[in-house]
Structure 1
Amino acid sequence: MSTDNVVALSAHKDKPPVEKLPPFYWVHREYDRERGEAGVYFYRAPTEKNPNPAPVCISDVIEVTAETRDNDNESWGKLLSWCDRDGMPKKWAMPATSLYANGGAEAISILVNGGLRIWDEKAFIRYLKGQSHQSRLTCVTRCGWFKPAVYVTPVRTFNPIDKDMVVYQVNARVKPEPFCGTLDTWRDEVAALCVGNSRLVLAVSTAFLSPMLTMLGVDGFCFHYVGASSSGKSRSMTVAASVLSDPKEYIRSWRATDNGLEGIAARHNDGLLCLDEIAQVDASKAGEIAYMLPNGKGKQRSTKNGTAKEIQQWCLALLSNGEIDLKSHADSVRKSTYAGQEMRVINIPADNCEYACFEELHGEANGALFADRLDRAVRDNHGTAFNAWLDNLTINYEAIKNGWREFKAIFLADVAEEPTGQIGRVAEKFAIAAYAGELSSEITGWSAGTATKAAKVCFAAWVERRGGTESHEDNEIVERIRQTIVRDGARFQDVNKPDEIPTARVGFIKDDEYIIPVEGWKVIFAGLDAKRAASVLQAKEITKSDRRYLPGLGRVRCYIIHRDSLED
């Protein structure tokens, strides 16, 4: 059947024109006593046996409201609109390929699942294939920023000029995020309880900053809340997730493969990803995954025929929690972490406030009762703030971009002596949290300075937990030599027992001195710069170099560490 016989839904009124010759499809939007229910009808051509065939209803009413394609004029599709059997309007930007795979089974399955009734599948697919529309929309397959001031979600495009110019198009209908209550009740019942609680304010600010990373050119990162069980760290994540959705559905688990987490991260592009309980991820891969997620790029993978798949990419802010931090988890299987990983996963102590994770209980008698109050508030109020925030970001896009540099400079000057070093790079992440929290004050109801104060308190807690402002590499060098001596003391040979050579020997011990020849030194600092390690430890007066006579080696150059020099 030619497409000439497939009529655009808006081209005619409810009845086909008398001059229209079958076969053709027609959409009847109204009930007719003679014909029957509203729907898409197929008018068959007359035959000798049946000179006046009755039209056959093949489906409920469904309309093609536009055709879609990407910026390269590829990935064509059709924007479909219909109502389910409860009268709820539905939309789906359908890739055209869905009509051709397995006889259109994929498209039919998605539409039927969305409440559309279809009685003749083959005729229905022929009908959709032939439908066209003059309107053109741009389609994307990834949520987030499409261009400046245009932010795409699965169900809505945020753009102050034309909200319908871009649509999200994948082989599935994506449901909108669930919501409960109103923006006003979320502000009064949830955001208000955050005031005076630095960890809660920082967590909520992280939800608001998540779409600002790409916008402001800031790399992805993770705030990891570390604390004992029942410290309140999970409540902080729950409150943050309430900005976007129902936390019970939104929060994910670290318990996943790296491949699975790549897909999850890509679906949260330019948004917030919440991962619960870091101890559930494979400890041997924890460092690699913790680097990958904030870094925004997955692994190169191959298809079944050996060709390279497109690498998944994203930009997001993460909230994580656990009773242990990344380094401790990796250490459990003797895996090292590096500066790049620990600068991206920023540990926030979650159990050292007056009431574990909380500083202000808002009239409750104890932390447990306050946590219960938070749970009730979030259960009844969630999913309303983020859309309001995206409206604000897209409308005020340029002003927000222009204000960032000055705000960051002031914040860094207050908290970091070296704003370009490792400490400065982490301080920048707290700065953008403060900036987002201040800008969103009309949504949260927080007074000016609330978010900035919370960010500074949490930054100071991070510095204290870290052990100061020295570089990660310097701290790693000290920790590496300390752990080698404490944990691997059996690998040091007593110089007075030349015949008792330990397995995997790295050095010798004499009285209170550990004597490490150059080759053993290189083994200890594998993965780090061994020469730099010597310089750092000498500057800290932990080690000195000398030449010593050692059993089986003769007189060789060594590094000597006195036991007392490693005491904290």
Structure 2
Amino acid sequence: MTTSNVTPLVPKASAPEIDRPCFRVYDDHQTTKTGQKLRAGVYWHGLRHGKGDSEPVEVDQWICSPLHVTAITSCEGGHFGRLLRLRNTLGRWREWAMPMAMLKGSGEDLRGELLGMGVEIDPDGFKQLNRYIQSQHPKRQVTAATATGWHDAQLFIMPGENIGQGDAILQTEAHDLGDFTKAGNLDGWRQQLARYCAGNPLLILGVCAALAGPLLYPTRQQSGGVNLWGKSSTGKSSIEQAAASVWGHGEHFLRTWNATGNGLEGIATQRNDALLVLDELGEADPAKVGDIVYALANGTGRARANRAGGARTANRWRVSVLSSGELTLAAKIAEAGKRIKAGQEVRLLDVSAARAFGCWDRLHGLPDGAALSKIIKRASVTHYGHAGPEFVRQLLAGEGLEGMPEALEKLRAEYPARNGLEGRAADRFALLALAGELAIDFGLLPMDPDSVRVALLALFEEWQGERSGDTCEDAAIKAQLLEFVTRHGEAHFSELGIPTDKVRDRAGWWRQDGESRVWLLTAEGLRRAVPGFEQRTVLDVLDAAGWIAERDKGGKRSKRVKVEGRALWLYHLAPVEG
């Protein structure tokens, strides 16, 4: 056998035809027709013109390692970008949807991201990199998603993974949203972590909070969640890590309350339709924590101006929140001398973490709660990142998302609520129960059917049992009025019908009615007694409580009274302690 009969295993690279000037990308080493060897990468093949009539000189400038522009990305006529396919220093290919805005100025931010991804760039040729990317106009067009989660009812987008049908990709300025990582396997997660949910309502609560994120969109529910509060070293962090392991690494997926509102907005956008775990409520700024709770639940970031004075596009998200701390949200807000509002209370529900063994009710044969916490923490950093995506796949593989509102409504009917605030809390518990029961149906939680529903209904009843029938605002209004007349009854009031000049800053009068007093407050006196609330709201609460002793014949909640020759409209109030 002669050499001429042998077919080479690796064909020799053919000399590229170059129509200068142009950009070219070579995935392998090349040899030009003139014998010049070119290493793999992006090249600028140009011509340099000399002085006079001299012939132009060919220039072959290496710009960076192999990088292809494979598609144009955009979203609703904006957010244009380019889908890049690149090879890193280790020879591995990956994709990144790059916003075109990163090419502004010198493109330094772009180069920083590419270098971080393993692209090698000529320090002297960075301007050509910008020109190369902007010169590429591939025929393929891909929809750019600016946040994780549902793009429509058939497609759920994650960093590096799309679940469902549709040609779209997550486009972000950061190339690596490394929160959604995976290790181990789903079976390991079920056997070493999820099985301990049986008999442990708070662990069920945490895992269901993680799984509830993808249900916010189809059930049309608002962002929000729960705050596990109680003594330290009882297992709260283990529950947080168990929840985090549904989507990523049990420790790395966690975030802390010790962050700015803007920072948490950015994190919430990256966790859209998934889970936001916030550790240690005690580290939050008490003066700002209430506003942060509102912002996280409302799902819209603060409006900000761009350099031209116009409005930037605000961040948007839907996210399930799991928080922990030694304090309730109300106690944290009180550190700043403020009072919690009903809207804040219902958006982040305080759930006591005090159970039989720390956070646990059932130890599964282990000696104590600390041993169970240790096992769960170990599993959360060994098998993670599988349950959440699989939950979404099963949602799409089944009957789809259309029946989710009806399923939630059916569960919600089991939760008795005494007022609107409890009704919204019931919505949250029912959503978590729906997530858990679906997870049982999908084979993710090794538990008996209805066990999640029963556990969360019991938690809701315990939460409800720790409250009065009043909302926090109702209770505050009644408490303020009662305190005002108790503390200032002699200073700012006098007995009706007995003239006196000893009352300063008069708020009204009083009259004896059997063994109790009826306080007759002026409109200004009522505002002083219950500051911080709209007067109509105050009257609605007092009316519902039965504290309005008399009213006008026409139904008006004040009554005209003759006082020292004058006819005044006064509120006749009979507050009751307890």
- Give the TM-score range, shorter chain: 0.7 to 0.9
What letter corresponds to residue 221 of structure 1 in structure 2? G
The answer to whether the 8 Å contact 2:234/2:358 transfers is yes
The answer to whether the 8 Å contact 1:14/1:29 transfers is no
Equivalence map 1:279-294=2 (5 Å): 279-294=282-297
The answer to whether the 8 Å contact 2:506/2:525 transfers is no
The answer to whether the 8 Å contact 1:494/1:509 transfers is no
Q: Which structure 2 segments of 5+ residues have no match?
A: 1-11, 495-499, 551-558
Would you tell me which structure has more helix in proportion to its own residues? 1
The answer to whether the 8 Å contact 1:415/1:427 transfers is yes
Q: Indicate the residue corresponding to 1:432 in structure 2.
A: 431
- Partners in 2 of 1:560 and 1:426 — Cα distance? 31
Q: Indicate the residue corresponding to 1:388 in structure 2.
A: 390
- Work out which of the residue numbers 34, 37, 48 in structure 2 matches 1:35: 37
How far the C-alpha of 1:535 sits from its partner, in A, is 6.7
Give the TM-score normalised by the residue count of structure 1: 0.83
How far the C-alpha of 1:383 sits from its partner, in A, is 1.9
- Partners in 2 of 1:85 and 1:439 — Cα distance? 43
Equivalence map 1:85-100=2 (5 Å): 85-99=89-103
The answer to whether the 8 Å contact 1:69/1:76 transfers is yes
User: Aligned in 2, Cα 1:526/1:16: closer, same or farther, shift over 3 Å?
Assistant: farther
User: Aligned in 2, Cα 1:537/1:29: closer, same or farther, shift over 3 Å?
Assistant: closer
Equivalence map 1:289-368=2 (5 Å): 289-351=292-354, 353-368=355-370
How far the C-alpha of 1:32 sits from its partner, in A, is 5.1
How far the C-alpha of 1:360 sits from its partner, in A, is 1.0
Q: Indicate the residue corresponding to 1:457 in structure 2.
A: 458
Q: Indicate the residue corresponding to 1:267 in structure 2.
A: 270
- Partners in 2 of 1:357 and 1:483 — Cα distance? 37
- Partners in 2 of 1:448 and 1:62 — Cα distance? 51
Q: Indicate the residue corresponding to 2:155 in structure 1.
A: 150
Equivalence map 1:76-475=2 (5 Å): 76-99=80-103, 101-119=104-122, 120-159=125-164, 161-162=165-166, 165-176=167-178, 177-351=180-354, 353-396=355-398, 398-405=399-406, 407-416=407-416, 421-441=420-440, 442-468=443-469, 470-475=470-475
User: Aligned in 2, Cα 1:491/1:365: closer, same or farther, shift over 3 Å?
Assistant: farther
User: Aligned in 2, Cα 1:309/1:127: closer, same or farther, shift over 3 Å?
Assistant: closer
- Partners in 2 of 1:295 and 1:64 — Cα distance? 37
SS of the residue corresponding to residue 106 of structure 2 reads helix
- Partners in 1 of 2:368 and 2:148 — Cα distance? 41
How far the C-alpha of 1:482 sits from its partner, in A, is 5.2
Equivalent residue pairs, number: 539
User: Aligned in 2, Cα 1:503/1:86: closer, same or farther, shift over 3 Å?
Assistant: farther
How far the C-alpha of 1:313 sits from its partner, in A, is 2.4
**Per-residue deviation, residues 493-515 of structure 1 (Å, max 9, x unmatched):** 3989x999899989999999795
RMSD over aligned CA atoms reads 3.7
What letter corresponds to residue 125 of structure 1 in structure 2? N
User: Aligned in 2, Cα 1:495/1:39: closer, same or farther, shift over 3 Å?
Assistant: closer
The answer to whether the 8 Å contact 1:491/1:503 transfers is no
What letter corresponds to residue 63 of structure 1 in structure 2? H
How far the C-alpha of 1:52 sits from its partner, in A, is 8.2
User: Aligned in 2, Cα 1:509/1:208: closer, same or farther, shift over 3 Å?
Assistant: farther
SS of the residue corresponding to residue 288 of structure 2 reads helix
The answer to whether the 8 Å contact 2:156/2:162 transfers is yes
The answer to whether the 8 Å contact 2:269/2:315 transfers is yes
The answer to whether the 8 Å contact 1:221/1:317 transfers is yes
SS of the residue corresponding to residue 37 of structure 2 reads coil
- Partners in 2 of 1:506 and 1:364 — Cα distance? 65
- Which one has the largest radius of gyration? 2
**Per-residue deviation, residues 333-369 of structure 1 (Å, max 9, x unmatched):** 3323333222222221111x21132111122222222
Instruction: Among all aligned residue pairs of Structure 1 and Structure 2, give the percentage whose two residues are the same amino acid.
Output: 27
What letter corresponds to residue 82 of structure 1 in structure 2? L
How far the C-alpha of 1:16 sits from its partner, in A, is 5.0
SS of the residue corresponding to residue 211 of structure 1 reads helix
What letter corresponds to residue 27 of structure 1 in structure 2? V
What letter corresponds to residue 394 of structure 2 in structure 1? N
User: Aligned in 2, Cα 1:169/1:433: closer, same or farther, shift over 3 Å?
Assistant: same
- Partners in 1 of 2:541 and 2:134 — Cα distance? 70
How far the C-alpha of 1:205 sits from its partner, in A, is 0.8
- Partners in 1 of 2:344 and 2:63 — Cα distance? 57
SS of the residue corresponding to residue 71 of structure 2 reads strand
SS of the residue corresponding to residue 248 of structure 1 reads coil
Equivalence map 1:500-511=2 (5 Å): none
